[in-house]
Amino acid sequence: MRQPVWVFDDTRKRKVYANKAALELWGAATLEDLQARDFGDQSPAVRIRMDAISARIAQGETVHDRWTFYPHGAPVAVRTAISLIRLADGGSGMLFEAAPAEVEGQEHRAIEALRHTVVLVALYDAQGTRLFANPAAMAAYPANNASFVDSFVDRAAGERVWRMALAGRPAFGSFLLATSAGARWHSVDARWARDPVSGDACVLVNETDITGEIEVRSALGEARERAENAVRARQAFLANMSHELRTPLTSVIGFAGLLADSPLDDRQRLQLGRIQDAGSALMSTLNDVLDLSKLEAGGVSLQLRPFALRGMLSQAIGIVEAQASEKRLALNLSVDETSPDWVLGDPERLRQVLVNLLGNAVKFTDEGGVGLTVTRRAHPDASMAQLEFAVSDTGVGVPEAMLVTVFDRFAQAGPEVTQRFGGTGLGLTITKQLIEMMGGQIGVDSVAGQGSRFWCVVDLPVAARIEAPVAVVAPSVSQGLRLLIADDNEANRELIGAILRSAGHTVEVARDGAEAVAAVQSRDYDLVLMDVRMPVMDGLTATRAIRALKTDMARIPIIALTANVLADQVASYLAQGMDDHVGKPIDPQDLLLKIARWSDLEVGRGSHH
């Protein structure tokens, strides 16, 4: 018999019979030589193919297929007829009857690539019945009469894809399919083709299992949603905390300010100063927490514009001058002559950084002095100024062990320092994050008991001098206005009323938004100061109701007077019809100036806003 024939025991992964032609095909002298070879180490594609063939011949089918073997390292292609055979020990084997297969080199490569690819490739006739499947597709859909549409979990989706492909329009997408491994997500590409054997219209389908990718994407989406929910919850908490703290602080700081203008003896004035200091400290802590939260949530952006460097430095020194003077500390500013007059940057944020560093230096220094030194470093680009800002002091210093954590949240120079000087330990964290937003670096050199030198380096583009605009006369603090205060907190109404009456205004009050709307409908006012959170009707609903009136009072200026001070909150108030915002605790001068501004605008227009 010249035709190669052999029997393969798929259970034990060994050949149990081979005729002479088969031994020659495999390049073996004897059956024992052939059996000595390891046929158990099969590639995934071969394993899938063998399993599929085994299942088919177990049903009594004879499978005709092409195989490529590598008995001597060189490929040998054969056509095979594979059928089931019973072995002497009662088991079953696979009977291979082979004949040489004449194939072109490129065709041979195509066949082998198709067999070993992990992509599922199948051809279906016009009725949707499978004509051909590569091993990967056979493993996923082993049934011989597999239908394309039946593989879709959502059959309607499968029918849409099929109709499109059969009509000559490529159809592709991600679908959940019922495979031998269970429901799996596949990327499906189906398009019209011709059967190379019959010439009839058919559909060529390529599928790739993307279940892992979908699961990762889903997990990322869920993680992102959880993170966004956490951010929203934190923002809501911060907004509520800010409101709840600022409301009583308004009374504490406001009434303390009113008392300061009263005749007091020395002891009373000292006690009042303690109240004001405590209120200011609590306000500072609250602002630090909000600043840090906004930075960590990405809610802070730099507002770049040209500014006078030395002017900004003088402002920073001026802010801490009173504190230094009270402690009898020398406060010095030294600016390198080569430093530019004007630079491009965010002056408010840079000033905040320097005030934080200067404030800390003054706070932790009892004797000696504090200095701010600005030095211009060399930079390869002449249009850029690399500036080092260094704040030095003769204070308590930072222990060496704390130098690596001094910029961490809630970190200070040590528990004894915290007990002695207080503070949250957030200022340096905020400073570091602001400097890093500017693309700069920050560091500290210190010796405990001798003092510290905090420095930061930023690159700022040199800017042209901006001519100062013609001075605009600030609005005078108007007097004799009729004002309506809408606030549910009695202490706030009393405090704001006292501030306004002392400025010569007539004041009326409403305890909620509904009362405010009714008041505006019944009499004329020059301006409304509107709290936002109130019972019965909140300030925003009241504002919308006033704007909907059919009288001139619909255009009355409305200033939000609220403890809600987050940027997105203020923007929302303005978008819903309010004209301006004054945050609590109230700065009396800021309040009076904004009232004057809006009342002057009304006079200029000759009618209500």
DSSP string of 177-216?
A: EEETTEEEEEEEEEEEEE-TTT--EEEEEEEEE-HHHHHH
SS (HEC) of 276-326: HHHHHHHHHHHHHHHHHHHHHCCCCCCCCEEEEHHHHHHHHHHHHHHHHHH
Judge whether 513 and 536 are in contact, CB under 8 Å.
Answer: yes
Exposure string of 252-276, with b = 16+ CB inside 10 Å and e = fewer, is bbbbbbeeeeeeeeeeeeeebeeeb
DSSP category for residue 401: G
Judge whether 563 and 247 are in contact, CB under 8 Å.
Answer: yes
Judge whether 202 and 124 are in contact, CB under 8 Å.
Answer: yes
What's the pLDDT score for residue 475? 46
Residue listed under structure tokens 């602002």: 287
What's the pLDDT score for residue 262? 81
The first and second tokens of residue 453, run together, are: 């030198």
Pairing verdict, β 482-486 and 527-530:
parallel
Q: Which long-range contacts does 50-56 make (Cβ < 8 Å, 24+ apart)?
A: 50/10, 51/139, 52/135, 52/138, 52/139, 52/142, 53/82, 53/94, 54/10, 54/94, 55/142, 56/144
Rounded Cα distance, 336 and 361, in Å: 21
Rounded Cα distance, 10 and 597, in Å: 93
First to last CA, the chain: 108
73: CB partners within 8 A, 6+ apart: none
Q: List the Cα angle 44/45/47 in 5-degree steps.
A: 65
Judge whether 525 and 482 are in contact, CB under 8 Å.
Answer: yes
Closest CA to 412 of 395, 399, 431: 399
Other CB atoms within a 10 A radius of the CB of residue 400 amount to 10
Which region, left, alpha or beta, applies to residue 542 given φ > 0 means left and ψ of -120 to 50 means alpha?
A: alpha
Judge whether 513 and 537 are in contact, CB under 8 Å.
Answer: yes
Mean pLDDT per 10-residue interval, the chain, length 609 residues = 83 87 87 77 70 87 82 74 90 87 65 82 91 89 81 93 91 92 93 83 93 88 83 71 72 80 84 77 70 69 90 90 90 95 92 92 93 95 94 91 78 51 68 93 92 95 71 52 94 90 94 96 95 94 96 94 79 94 86 89 48
* CB-neighbour burial class of residue 552 (10 A; exposed 0-12, middle 13-18, buried 19+): exposed
The most distant pair of C-alpha atoms in the chain lies apart, rounded to whole Å, by: 128
Q: Give, for 381, the enclosing helix (H) or strand (E).
A: none
Closest CA to 208 of 194, 226, 189: 189
What's the pLDDT score for residue 602? 54
What's the pLDDT score for residue 279? 75
Residues linked to residue 371 through DSSP beta bridges, in sequence order: 332, 392
* CB-neighbour burial class of residue 295 (10 A; exposed 0-12, middle 13-18, buried 19+): middle
80: CB partners within 8 A, 6+ apart: 64, 65, 66, 67, 96, 97, 98, 99
Query: Would the pTM of this model clear 0.85, i.e. be above it?
Result: no
Judge whether 408 and 398 are in contact, CB under 8 Å.
Answer: no
Other CB atoms within a 10 A radius of the CB of residue 356 amount to 24
For the chain, list the domains and their CATH numbers.
Answer: 5-109 (3.30.450.20), 119-209 (3.30.450.20), 219-296 (1.10.287.130), 305-461 (3.30.565.10), 482-605 (3.40.50.2300)
Exposure string of 472-504, with b = 16+ CB inside 10 Å and e = fewer, is eeebebbeebebbbbbbbeebbbbbbbbbeebe
Closest CA to 66 of 132, 160, 163: 132
Exposure string of 335-355, with b = 16+ CB inside 10 Å and e = fewer, is beeebbebbbbbbebbbbbbb
Residues linked to residue 64 through DSSP beta bridges, in sequence order: 81
Other CB atoms within a 10 A radius of the CB of residue 45 amount to 18
Judge whether 608 and 556 are in contact, CB under 8 Å.
Answer: yes
What is the edge-to-edge ordering of all strands in the sheet holding 120-125? 130-133, 120-125, 201-209, 182-194, 171-179
Judge whether 69 and 25 are in contact, CB under 8 Å.
Answer: yes
* CB-neighbour burial class of residue 453 (10 A; exposed 0-12, middle 13-18, buried 19+): middle
Rounded Cα distance, 247 and 591, in Å: 16
96: CB partners within 8 A, 6+ apart: 4, 5, 6, 7, 8, 22, 80, 81, 82
The first and second tokens of residue 378, run together, are: 């060399």
